[in-house]
Structure 1
Amino acid sequence: MPQDDDITPDLNTSEPLRRALGSRYLQYALSTIMHRALPDARDGLKPVHRRILFAMRELKLSPSGGFRKSAKITGDVMGNYHPHGDAAIYDAMARLAQDFNLRYPLVNGQGNFGNIDGDNPAAARYTEARMARASELLLEGLAENAVDYRPNYDGTLEEPIVLPAAFPNLLANGASGIAVGMATNIPPHNLDELIEGCLALIAAPDLPDDDLVALIPGPDFPTGGVIVEPAESIRTAYATGRGAFRLRARWEVEDLGRGQWQVVVTEIPFQVPKSRLIEKLAEVIQTRKVPLLADVRDESADDVRIVLDPKSRTVDPELMMGMLFKHSDLETRFSLNMNVLIDGVTPKVCSLREVLRAFLDHRRDVLARRSQHRLDKIDHRLEVLEGFIIAFLNLDRVIDIIRYDEAPRAALMREVWGRAFTRATSEKDYVAPPAGEGELSELQAESILNMRLRSLRRLEEMELRRERDELLKERAGLEDLLASEKLQWKRIATQLRAVQAEFGKATDIGRRRSDFAQAADVEDVPLEAMIEREPVTIVCSKMGWIRAMKGHVALDQAFKFKDGDAGRFAFHAETTDKIVLFGSNGRFYTILAANLPGGRGMGEPVRLMVDLPNEAEIVDLFIHKAGAKLVVASTAGDGFVVPADDVIAQTRGGKQVLNVKDGVRALVCRAVAGDHLACVGENRKLLVFPLVELPEMGRGKGVRLQSYKDGGLSDLTTITLAEGLRWLDPAGRTRHEPDLTEWLGKRASAGRMAPRGFPRDNRFT
């Protein structure tokens, strides 16, 4: 498989562009998948992380040793193993040191390595690093032929293909990456629980999935929080390798006395920057998506402490937090996509069982290789000890050969000794060899020649015999281990328990941080129910400046407006009311009365609250009444009846109800109250027809109300035919036309001239 930079095409050959692009892109995709984005299921590391840890080992940066500049480490990694940008390498190393990103950090950092607020680490020249204890466990056995090596990118050095990995790092620390056509996202888990799961699989390879999930109930995030995903969903995710986990912030109610209280958030969801979370909460307050929340403060020091102040002491904390979980990052969803490289080659979406099995099989292979390596070392040492003991048993002859022979090594190898060393377990097993069978090997002869004179004492001979006996005993144990699968799994279980004792739940780093809880889903409570009901007076000017004055003030009083502006709408309402705005573009907009600015100033432009275009005018402004019906019409004389509940908009953009073309605008919106509709055109002709002739629609252009030769519609109203038609004359007196038979007609007819005394502006009100 080519390395990342080993995909240069051969420029001396020619081939079709389609084939060339396909071949090159396939090489690039495979390189990205195998050498950059996806972690290995065995050690849970990507190549850059593996190379960082290996380079730190080569620099002898042990957990108990000193720190080295991050720039030095980054330079060694880049120059020797990872030919990519130093910024990318340093960012990867910095992440390994962040305890809010890694459940079990692999690097000990000294200096600014970033924080939970989302701030970046300091430059590499300012920080220092060394390996953490967990890294030592991942690297343990590299010197004992535990894994295969491969040449580095330029062939001058060698690097391990995979690390021995004494614990399941893939699940313990998680992983994320985006390759070509595939991605991975694995949450961190509790190492104590993972080891319990591994031990259970060793004892019972066919362990049911339910029993495995009982031992590993879910992720354990470094920032804590509360997992509220249902247990059945977690089981399905672990069985398929795909799913998601709902994670909520941890909070508590803090009593302030005298009935006052506040909510304190002590743990936030994983990978949510605290600074961004505070900004989102402030935005929720500003947009009043959660009217129960009054203020948010960040009082964090080394720990997380976010204070949420309620609107009043009567607010239900559970209801307020439920709304915040819905509208902010206090609740997130962490996706699970367990796409990893099996044996470092094949990408596959694995289940929890498959990932643990890949780790355990790797540990068995590592154990066998380390045992065989140790066995070879013992055989080498036993061969040396054999020569030493022969030399001690024939010390005078050995000294004589060394003193007088011109080629002592060859003479030692030719000599037939009186007593040979056999690989036995006790002294009684030594027998005198037949003539010609006591020769020393070249290694033994060389070792005897290199032996110090001080070693020629009786005490040293006894030490050699003791070492021989211990090595023989160890060798027998290794041979038994390599021959027995049962003993191998027993040894692996012992090693895992040793890791568990160091990182178990009894330790500070090993205790579970993320708890489980049942999500109390918050019902969609109407915003009116969360707003304290108070009387207000809504005032809106001709230029669209709107405000809500406290209490019901007299509507005929003089209100203050900006220079050049004047009043247009003024009516009494409640803070729980929804205010409906109808624009000349045919869209309805909804504003909560509680969200309107106070009445001390001139208010605010309504266009800041809703997305009413600058070229559109305000046609009408009124209180929404559930169950009512409205009649809307355009200047062209088209209209229809629409239920008031259907015009409520959920967004700032409003809701399109009356469709208008270029040159036509929405003109009027009236509440339906009566059985007939009266409309008057710009030609002063009045038409009265039954409302049943007008269709009820949710959206559209409508039907023709009245026909005109010239001009269009001026105004309309709904009336009760038996009560006649009333209007105000220019003097302010009420005029009444009880008999409307003369103006009755069919919808879309022309009508007749309005009654005597009808207002000259052709308006009913």
Structure 2
Amino acid sequence: MSSDVPDDANAPADRIKHVRIEDEMEQSYIDYAMSVIAGRALPDVRDGMKPVHRRILYAMHEMGVSSGSSHRKSSSIVGETMGDYHPHGDSAIYDTLVRMAQDFSMRYPLVDGQGNFGSMDGDPPAAMRYTEARMAPIAEVLLEDIEKDTVDFSSNYDDRLQEPEVLPAKVPNLLLNGSSGIAVGMSTNIPPHNLGELVDATIHLIENPDATVEDLMEHVSGPDFPTGGNIVGRDAIYSAYATGRGRLRVRAEYEVDREDGRIVISELPYQENKARIVERIADDVNEGKIEGIADLRDESDRNGVRIVVELKRGANVDVVENRLLDHHLESTFGVINLALVDGQPQVLSLKESLQHYVEHRREVVRRRSEHDLAEAQDRAHILEGRLKALENVEDVVELIRNSEDRDAARAGLHEAFDFSEDQAAHIVRMQLGSLTSMESAEIEEEYEEVQETIDYLQAVLDSQAKLDGVITDELREVKAEYDDDRRTSIIEDEGQVTHEDLIPEQDCVVVITEDDYIKRMPVENFDPQNRGGKGIIGADPKEGDRVSKVFRANSHDYLLCFTNRGQVYRLKTYEIPEMSRTARGKSAVNIINLDDGEEITAVVSTDDFEPEECLTMVTRDGYVKRTCAADFENILSTGIRAAKLEDGDELVDVEVTDGTKDLVIASEGGMTIRFDEDEVSEMGRSARGVNGIKLEDGDKVAAMVATDDDDERALLTVTEHGYGKRTKLTEYRAQSRYGKGLVDIKTDDRNGRVRTAKAVTGDDHLVIMSERGQIMRIRADDISQVGRNTKGVTIMELEDGDGVASVTVVPARSEE
């Protein structure tokens, strides 16, 4: 059997190349990436268009769908574009066509749409079979002179047709309408600008090639968005123009009507969904994140945006305005001025963008002038032949009459009179009527005009200055026809106004119920009354709920809120909703992440202590502990542990101490004990503490006060039935820790059990809250100062079944 193998048997194997897979993947990915970058996602710096935009406009141009023609079905335009130039699917083409017709997406729409082309609410456009379109007049400016060999053409995807690689672009469209797109490993986001400003800047750059970005910004003040709005701060604009990258703060345009209590929004940040903004504002109002809004209406129509925010009576307009700005009416536009320069992606400054455009226009005008010059020279050549024929009209006519046919006549004219072939062919086609003397004068006049055109075009081609003059003249013509007023304003950045800056500093009363409803009210809402009064409504708890705690705080205080379970949370006082006296309050779980059954039992303002101080805590069962205040600096939103508690025990009270204080613990049974805080060692947050008072069976701790030997204050003790007394703190002698203490007040049937104890001066004011929501403010001096072991006097008259819930002290300094 022969082993001979044909010479071409190994030919396929010879074409196999061995390559490393990582090298092949890298090269293939680079090829793919460059295809996306150059063929889809990034605009060309010269005409500011991606291929799909350019192909749609050119297809409309070829179809004759101009601004002066009737509208054509969008499906027809999409079909022509896809079939001839852009074989990437009809949806991508139609989406682009739609965007070019949206006056809220394009600063100067390039398509004149008829039908539903979507809205600022994010509504989708109608199907392409229902909408119609034609070119907008300004789009024709981009295509003008395309037939005059002004730009290069290349074969379309199937080599049947030719398509332009770039449009002549009589205006700097890259910056005019902007562009956005995501390529592979890069993206572009170019804001739109005002046509008049761009034209002025371009002309300035042509006349002053050494102009800086600062010089150009004297003409281009900043982006000009189709939806208007305000750009906050000029520094960010300069950064974006100088480097090609930047972050602009874009703010809605709105008017605050303080007299009628409303905020009317008339312009929104660029590319923001109006319906979504309204929905988010409504959600924040419902969730309590924005307070003071009574109603929200979208009254927008075809004439523009109008969103009305109605405010509640007494709402802080500045606070509502600031909340809306923080979360809804201000957005960031990230500028990335990335475009294709000679087919390569490049981040461009404002000057570089305009420089590349000017170079493009110089090329376009030069090629157009060459084209027009060639046509003018051809016409002049023909006119020269006609004039020469008129000079020899009898001989020319005789020669043509005696010729056998047109070819013989052309040849005879060429030989006898030295006409060129083009001149001879034209003369043969001339009518006898054109040989009149009047026709001769017209030919001579036209010849002179053509010669002037030739001289002008030749001068333009010979002089850079004249060519630039043509460009500037044409730019001014475009500006005169299409310029309009600027829509986006540039406002100075006056610094970020924080929410806290808009909150007035005032003393507040904070009320908490057993079911964890919470609210705050200004202290001045409650006038001082005489001792023994009923007070006024301070809260309206729902049925079955009762007030559990009332405390005073400044609206700007940071509060440490300790709960009965030994957890501590941190919040600003102004985060607690401000409500009327008769309001129930808002569920505290929206502000503090409380568990079921967890209640706030003690509150300390962080303004009251220094980091080296301690927080001293006491529990219901009489345990005491001291923990360094610095351990409470970083508190999570879910809270942290403040004290470890035995089963059934609860945290009752917290005081700020500095190691030199005495602690006075008061029990519900009317006992008090005073001892040096040094008897309680400083310990960590997770510690339980040590015994502070020895309680009788059934007795519990009611409160704790920190004092010292020089303290001239009195201990105010208030019982659940509304009775109380003041006794000088010096009458409570110091003992050792964990004793039974001394009798402070009688807790018989009249008084009931001790509800709380506070250290007060005679000038302090007391705010007393009952379990059913009655509130009363009295002067501490109205309560008689007596000795220990007495019954006390009536402080607040309570209805049957009601009882004192809590007492807070408004210091004398707050009354000054």
- What interval of TM-score do these two structures reach, taking the shorter chain for normalisation? 0.7 to 0.9
Q: Specify the SS of the correspondent of 2:118.
A: coil
* Structure-1 residue corresponding to 2:377: 379
Query: Which of 11, 15, 18 is matched with 2:19 structurally?
Result: 15
Residues 588 and 648 in structure 1, CA contact (< 8 A), matched pair in contact too: no
* Structure-1 residue corresponding to 2:627: 641
**Cα distance change, pair 526–476 in 1 and its aligned pair in 2 (3 A):** closer
Q: CA deviation at 1:690?
A: 3.1
Is residue 333 from structure 1 mapped to residue 336 from structure 2 by the alignment? no
Is residue 145 from structure 1 mapped to residue 149 from structure 2 by the alignment? yes
CA distance in 2, matches of 1:639, 1:93: 73
Q: Which amino acid aligns with 1:138?
A: L
Q: Which amino acid aligns with 2:420?
A: L
Taking the TM superposition and a 5 Å limit, the aligned residue runs for 1:746-757 are none
**Cα distance change, pair 48–669 in 1 and its aligned pair in 2 (3 A):** farther
CA distance in 2, matches of 1:665, 1:520: 55
**Cα distance change, pair 174–534 in 1 and its aligned pair in 2 (3 A):** same
Residues 189 and 337 in structure 2, CA contact (< 8 A), matched pair in contact too: yes
Is residue 502 from structure 1 mapped to residue 506 from structure 2 by the alignment? no
Q: What do the CA deviations read for 1:295-340 (whole angstroms, capped 9, x no partner)?
A: 433222222222333444795x6x3575146423322232222111
Residues 619 and 669 in structure 1, CA contact (< 8 A), matched pair in contact too: no
Q: Which amino acid aligns with 1:353?
A: K
Q: What do the CA deviations read for 1:7-59 (whole angstroms, capped 9, x no partner)?
A: xxxx9766332122211211121122212222111111111111111111111
Q: Specify the SS of the correspondent of 1:137.
A: helix
Is residue 690 from structure 1 mapped to residue 688 from structure 2 by the alignment? no
Q: CA deviation at 1:208?
A: 3.4
Residues 602 and 653 in structure 2, CA contact (< 8 A), matched pair in contact too: no
**Cα distance change, pair 659–137 in 1 and its aligned pair in 2 (3 A):** farther
* Structure-1 residue corresponding to 2:470: 491
* Structure-1 residue corresponding to 2:640: 656
Q: CA deviation at 1:573?
A: 6.1
Q: CA deviation at 1:488?
A: 0.6
* Structure-1 residue corresponding to 2:5: none
Q: What do the CA deviations read for 1:111-143 (whole angstroms, capped 9, x no partner)?
A: 122223332222212211111111011101101
Q: CA deviation at 1:753?
A: 11
Query: Which of 471, 485, 493 is matched with 2:450 structurally?
Result: 471
**Cα distance change, pair 540–371 in 1 and its aligned pair in 2 (3 A):** same
Q: Unmatched 5+ residue regions in structure 2?
A: 1-14, 527-533, 610-614, 667-672, 692-699, 710-714, 748-753, 757-816
CA distance in 1, matches of 2:463, 2:665: 99
Residues 260 and 313 in structure 1, CA contact (< 8 A), matched pair in contact too: no
Is residue 238 from structure 1 mapped to residue 241 from structure 2 by the alignment? yes
* Structure-2 residue corresponding to 1:618: 598
Q: CA deviation at 1:144?
A: 0.4
Q: Specify the SS of the correspondent of 2:514.
A: strand
CA distance in 2, matches of 1:85, 1:130: 21
Q: Specify the SS of the correspondent of 1:134.
A: helix
Q: What do the CA deviations read for 1:627-655 (whole angstroms, capped 9, x no partner)?
A: 34644699999965364995797x9x444
Residues 631 and 669 in structure 1, CA contact (< 8 A), matched pair in contact too: no
Q: Which moved more, 1:158-167 or 1:276-285?
A: 276-285
**Cα distance change, pair 451–277 in 1 and its aligned pair in 2 (3 A):** same
Q: CA deviation at 1:156?
A: 1.6
Q: Which amino acid aligns with 1:337?
A: I
Residues 577 and 623 in structure 1, CA contact (< 8 A), matched pair in contact too: no
**Cα distance change, pair 598–398 in 1 and its aligned pair in 2 (3 A):** same
Q: Sequence identity of aligned pairs in percent?
A: 34
TM-score by length of 2: 0.72
* Structure-2 residue corresponding to 1:513: 487
**Cα distance change, pair 85–658 in 1 and its aligned pair in 2 (3 A):** farther
Q: Specify the SS of the correspondent of 1:335.
A: strand
Taking the TM superposition and a 5 Å limit, the aligned residue runs for 1:434-453 are 438-441=418-421, 443-452=422-431
Q: Specify the SS of the correspondent of 1:618.
A: coil
* Structure-2 residue corresponding to 1:251: 254
CA distance in 2, matches of 1:492, 1:148: 20
CA distance in 1, matches of 2:453, 2:538: 104
Q: Which amino acid aligns with 2:244?
A: G
Q: What do the CA deviations read for 1:497-535 (whole angstroms, capped 9, x no partner)?
A: 11121123xxxxx11122233233464353893599886
Q: Which amino acid aligns with 2:89?
A: G
Q: Which amino acid aligns with 2:267?
A: E
**Cα distance change, pair 299–648 in 1 and its aligned pair in 2 (3 A):** farther
Q: What do the CA deviations read for 1:441-496 (whole angstroms, capped 9, x no partner)?
A: 2x334334444455454444443333222222211221111111111111111111
**Cα distance change, pair 296–566 in 1 and its aligned pair in 2 (3 A):** closer
Residues 559 and 567 in structure 1, CA contact (< 8 A), matched pair in contact too: no
Q: CA RMSD in A?
A: 4.7
Q: CA deviation at 1:666?
A: 10
* Structure-1 residue corresponding to 2:689: 705
Is residue 225 from structure 1 mapped to residue 229 from structure 2 by the alignment? yes
Q: Specify the SS of the correspondent of 2:607.
A: coil
Is residue 270 from structure 1 mapped to residue 250 from structure 2 by the alignment? no
* Structure-1 residue corresponding to 2:44: 40
Q: CA deviation at 1:68?
A: 0.6
Query: Which of 359, 362, 370 is matched with 2:360 structurally?
Result: 362
**Cα distance change, pair 67–572 in 1 and its aligned pair in 2 (3 A):** same
**Cα distance change, pair 158–632 in 1 and its aligned pair in 2 (3 A):** farther
Residues 507 and 554 in structure 2, CA contact (< 8 A), matched pair in contact too: yes
CA distance in 1, matches of 2:279, 2:231: 23
Aligned residues: 689
Q: CA deviation at 1:245?
A: 2.5
Is residue 480 from structure 1 mapped to residue 481 from structure 2 by the alignment? no
Q: CA deviation at 1:679?
A: 11
Is residue 122 from structure 1 mapped to residue 121 from structure 2 by the alignment? no
Residues 577 and 593 in structure 1, CA contact (< 8 A), matched pair in contact too: no
Q: CA deviation at 1:403?
A: 5.0
**Cα distance change, pair 706–306 in 1 and its aligned pair in 2 (3 A):** same
Residues 566 and 641 in structure 2, CA contact (< 8 A), matched pair in contact too: no
Residues 627 and 643 in structure 1, CA contact (< 8 A), matched pair in contact too: no
Q: CA deviation at 1:268?
A: 2.3
CA distance in 2, matches of 1:180, 1:583: 57
Residues 566 and 650 in structure 2, CA contact (< 8 A), matched pair in contact too: no
Query: Which of 55, 66, 69 is matched with 2:73 structurally?
Result: 69
CA distance in 2, matches of 1:558, 1:223: 47
* Structure-1 residue corresponding to 2:569: 588
**Cα distance change, pair 561–360 in 1 and its aligned pair in 2 (3 A):** closer
Query: Which of 106, 110, 120 is matched with 1:106 structurally?
Result: 110
CA distance in 2, matches of 1:596, 1:557: 13
TM-score by length of 1: 0.77
* Structure-2 residue corresponding to 1:97: 101
**Cα distance change, pair 62–229 in 1 and its aligned pair in 2 (3 A):** same
**Cα distance change, pair 666–18 in 1 and its aligned pair in 2 (3 A):** farther
Q: CA deviation at 1:265?
A: 2.6
Q: CA deviation at 1:569?
A: 2.2
Residues 228 and 246 in structure 1, CA contact (< 8 A), matched pair in contact too: yes
CA distance in 2, matches of 1:568, 1:379: 100
Q: Specify the SS of the correspondent of 2:266.
A: strand
Q: CA deviation at 1:397?
A: 4.9
Q: CA deviation at 1:354?
A: 0.8
**Cα distance change, pair 729–386 in 1 and its aligned pair in 2 (3 A):** closer
Query: Which of 654, 673, 683 is matched with 1:671 structurally?
Result: 654
Residues 322 and 522 in structure 1, CA contact (< 8 A), matched pair in contact too: no
* Structure-2 residue corresponding to 1:431: none
